[in-house]
Copies of this chain bind each other. A is one copy, B any other.
Amino acid sequence: MIIFRTDTPLGRWFDICLIASIIGSLLVLIMGSVESVSQRWGTQLNYLEILFTALFTVEYLLRLYCSPKPWAYAKSFYGFVDLMAILPFYIALLVPNAHFLGVVRLLRVMRIFRILKLVQYIQDSNVIMRSLWNSRRKIFIFFSMVAILVTIFGALLYIIEGPENGFTSIPTSIYWAIVTITTVGYGDISPVTTLGRAIASLTMLLGYSILAVPTGIITAEMSQEVKQQKKVYRDHRDLVMCPNCMKNDHEPDAFHCKHCGSELPEHEERVVKITGKTGDYD
């Protein structure tokens, strides 16, 4: 099957076409929202949109047809995303006023994940994902802390500043606190009174410092992952073979074969070779 495998030349060519048409259809959608563009090129963009939707429909039906279990595919996450990429177009044909559905098609951007999954970035993507997954509890606790801080500081500024300075309600004040604690700082709402500014300064300094917590969490996990990767390689140095002279036993930081000087495979590929797993978790 061409469309499900990526290691044949035809499969790879198919993937490149697919990724190009996904990005193309996204560009059509994005440009169509700019008024000056849509007034001038509206018809052409519409034709392109029809073309891309037709392509994706054919691809969807082919996948359904070729899949050994069509229903399992249709119910899977990727099946759902693939359907969402074409369905809004057909609904818009039936229901005239469903203009807002057009933007749902932007979810096509998630189809890019399917492509990324197939190609060679798997290993690195997994290091990131595994780090995030391992620290999911710490991240949850961190966000609970942020939620509590934001509620307290938002309420404080609601009392101190009051509606006349833009803090019209507690939800608005919590929005201000989030804008401040994440150091975004739009400036649409900002404290005016002296006490309000003092409390706001405290909020900023807190936000500035606790930014270190998620960084620390992710970095600590990621350091372990990188070290683990290097250790795995070191323990199995006899398994890496020079593609030129066929000798092995290379140092973990070697980029060139010490016997003949030709380039060695990339670090990530070595690990895959040694551990025999591509790090594919789902």
Binding site for B on A (CB under 8 A): 26, 29-31, 33-35, 100, 103, 106-107, 109-110, 112-113, 116, 121, 124-125, 127-128, 131-132, 134, 137-144, 146-148, 151-152, 155-156, 158-159, 168-172, 174-175, 178-180, 182-188, 190, 194, 197-198, 200-201, 204-205, 207-209, 211-228, 230, 253, 267-268
- Extra 11 A-B pairs, beta carbons < 8 Å, given A143-B209, A179-B201, A184-B184: A100-B159, A103-B159, A110-B148, A121-B140, A124-B137, A137-B268, A139-B209, A182-B204, A208-B214, A211-B215, A212-B217
B217 and A222 contact, CB distance less than 8 A: yes
CA distance A139 to B33 in the complex (A): 30
CA distance A141 to B209 in the complex (A): 13
- Chain B residue numbers with a CB within 8 Å of A170 are 29-30, 33-34, 103, 106
Closest to A224 in B: B226
- Chain B residue numbers with a CB within 8 Å of A200 are 175
CA distance A200 to B171 in the complex (A): 13
B212 and A148 contact, CB distance less than 8 A: no
Name the one of B158, B183, B215 contacting A183, with C-beta atoms under 8 angstroms: B183
Name the one of B174, B182, B218 contacting A207, with C-beta atoms under 8 angstroms: B182
- Chain B residue numbers with a CB within 8 Å of A175 are 197-198, 200-201
- Counting from the closest, the 4 A-B pairs by CB-CB distance are A184-B185, A186-B187, A216-B218, A33-B170
CA distance A144 to B168 in the complex (A): 35
Closest to A32 in B: B170
Most buried by B among A152, A201, A207, A230: A201
Closest to A227 in B: B224
B205 and A182 contact, CB distance less than 8 A: yes
- Chain B residue numbers with a CB within 8 Å of A35 are 168-169
CA distance A21 to B175 in the complex (A): 23
Closest to A99 in B: B159
CA distance A26 to B155 in the complex (A): 11
- Chain B residue numbers with a CB within 8 Å of A223 are 216, 219-220, 223
A182 and B182 contact, CB distance less than 8 A: no
- Chain B residue numbers with a CB within 8 Å of A214 are 208-209, 211-212
B211 and A208 contact, CB distance less than 8 A: yes
A219 and B221 contact, CB distance less than 8 A: no
Most buried by B among A134, A156, A194: A194
Expressed in whole angstroms, the minimum distance between the Cβ of A194 and any Cβ of chain B is: 7
